[in-house]
Structures are given as structure tokens and as C-alpha cells.
């Protein structure tokens, strides 16, 4: 699947102009090494969130989640991106209109909270709409996928449900997740979430 991002960052706010590597707290200048370190620290933080979930206060919870996951590696963890991003020629939401997007996502979360916890088909549909909106927003320079999956996990938890959109070693789920998010296909995302969401056994 194509995976070509383009960042409009002529002032190199986020990357080192010589190496192209994201500026990071570890001072790493190698792409592969940074990826390994980033995965390690964010996995540790994600496990902590599983034990002590953050409270979702609306779309702004995205900033809290991102900060928690990436606080050990990026100084801009939890801060909205200031550059424009596109993927495969398709631009994500423009920075100057972020307020509008956050208000829209707040409305979707409010609608989700009105749904009966036992109505899984409707819960899945609304979670898919939230995921689609958050992915289009793409509020951060890096780490959007991990942040939005954690948001959905926490929202499902509010309804007594378990939802893991990134189970290990499951290529089919990953491909469907990517297809749904990249193409803005709410039907694919709804089907995937409906398949994965289940009653929390704790």
C-alpha cells in the first residue's frame, strides 16, 4: 500500500536539515534507530495507559494522549502540528481550520455518548466516524495513528467495551484499518470495529 507523506516545512521545524530525521530528545540522527527507540518508549507508555486510562474530555484528549505516549522522545509531544501534511497527494486538514475540526469531533463524541452501551452496531458506526474525522485532522507531525487508536480504545472503555485496533501480527486487520483510514471509508472502518469490539471482561 502506498505510504508517501509530504510535509511543508521549509524552516525545518521538526526535522534536522542534514539528516532529515525528526528532532528528538535522545539526539538520535539515524531513522532506523529512532524508529526502534520511539517504538520502545511509546509501547511502554501505552501499557501504562492500559493500567491507568486517561479521561476523555472531548477532542482535546488527543493532545493528552499524544503527550503521554511521546513525552520521552519529542519536545513537541501533545502539541498540534504547525505544518501542512499530505499523503499520496491527499492533504490532511489545514492547520488554520483546526478549531472547526475539533468542534466537529466534539460533536461526534457527544453523539457517541448518547448511544446505549449494548448497541454495538451503532457504537461501531459512531466510533468509525470519529476515527475517520480524527485521521483526516491528523493533528500531529508524527504519531497520529497510535494516538487515534488509543482514543478509540478509551471511548470504547467508557461503554464497557474492549477495542484493540492494532493486535500484533494480524496483517488483515492492519490492511483493513489502513484502507479505511487512508481512503476515508467509514463502511470499512465500521465493519472492522464491529468485528473487534467486545464486552470488557474485567
Q: What is the mean pLDDT of residues 53-61?
A: 96
Full residue range of the structural domain in which residue 108 is found: 5-199
How far is it, in rounded angstroms, from Cα 119 to Cα 110? 16
Task: State the average pLDDT for the chain.
Answer: 94
What's the confidence (pLDDT) of residue 3?
Answer: 59
- 3-state secondary structure at position 15: strand
What's the confidence (pLDDT) of residue 1?
Answer: 39
Picking from 108, 104, 120, the residue whose alpha carbon sits closest to that of residue 197 is 120
What's the confidence (pLDDT) of residue 2?
Answer: 47
Per-residue pLDDT of 66-75, as tens digits, reads: 999 999 999 9
Q: What is the mean pLDDT of residues 140-147?
A: 97
How many structural domains does the chain have? 1
Picking from 134, 131, 138, the residue whose alpha carbon sits closest to that of residue 180 is 131
Q: Which CATH number does the domain housing residue 150 bear?
A: 1.10.3290.10
User: Where would I find the H helices in 116-165?
Assistant: 120-137, 144-158
Q: What is the mean pLDDT of residues 166-193?
A: 91
Across-strand partners of 8? Answer: 84
Per-residue pLDDT of 174-187, as tens digits, reads: 999 999 999 999 99
Amino acid at each position: 500500500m502506498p505510504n508517501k507523506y509530504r510535509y511543508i516545512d521549509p524552516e525545518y521545524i521538526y526535522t534536522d536539515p542534514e539528516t532529515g530525521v525528526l528532532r528528538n530528545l535522545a539526539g538520535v540522527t539515524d531513522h532506523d534507530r529512532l524508529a526502534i527507540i520511539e517504538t520502545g518508549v511509546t509501547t511502554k507508555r501505552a501499557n501504562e495507559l492500559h493500567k491507568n486510562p486517561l479521561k476523555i474530555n472531548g477532542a482535546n484528549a488527543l493532545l493528552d494522549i499524544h503527550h503521554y505516549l511521546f513525552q520521552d522522545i519529542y519536545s513537541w509531544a501533545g502539541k498540534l502540528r504547525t505544518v501542512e501534511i499530505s499523503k499520496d497527494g491527499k492533504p490532511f486538514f489545514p492547520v488554520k481550520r483546526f478549531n472547526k475540526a475539533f468542534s466537529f469531533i466534539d460533536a461526534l463524541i457527544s453523539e457517541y455518548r448518547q448511544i446505549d452501551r449494548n448497541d454495538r452496531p451503532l457504537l461501531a458506526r459512531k466510533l468509525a466516524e470519529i476515527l475517520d474525522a480524527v485521521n483526516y485532522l491528523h493533528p500531529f507531525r508524527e504519531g497520529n495513528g497510535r494516538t487515534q487508536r488509543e482514543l478509540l480504545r478509551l471511548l470504547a472503555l467508557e461503554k464497557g467495551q474492549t477495542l484493540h485496533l492494532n493486535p500484533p501480527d494480524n496483517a488483515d486487520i492492519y490492511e483493513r484499518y489502513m484502507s479505511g483510514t487512508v481512503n476515508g471509508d467509514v463502511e470499512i472502518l465500521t465493519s472492522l470495529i464491529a468485528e473487534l469490539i467486545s464486552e470488557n471482561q474485567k
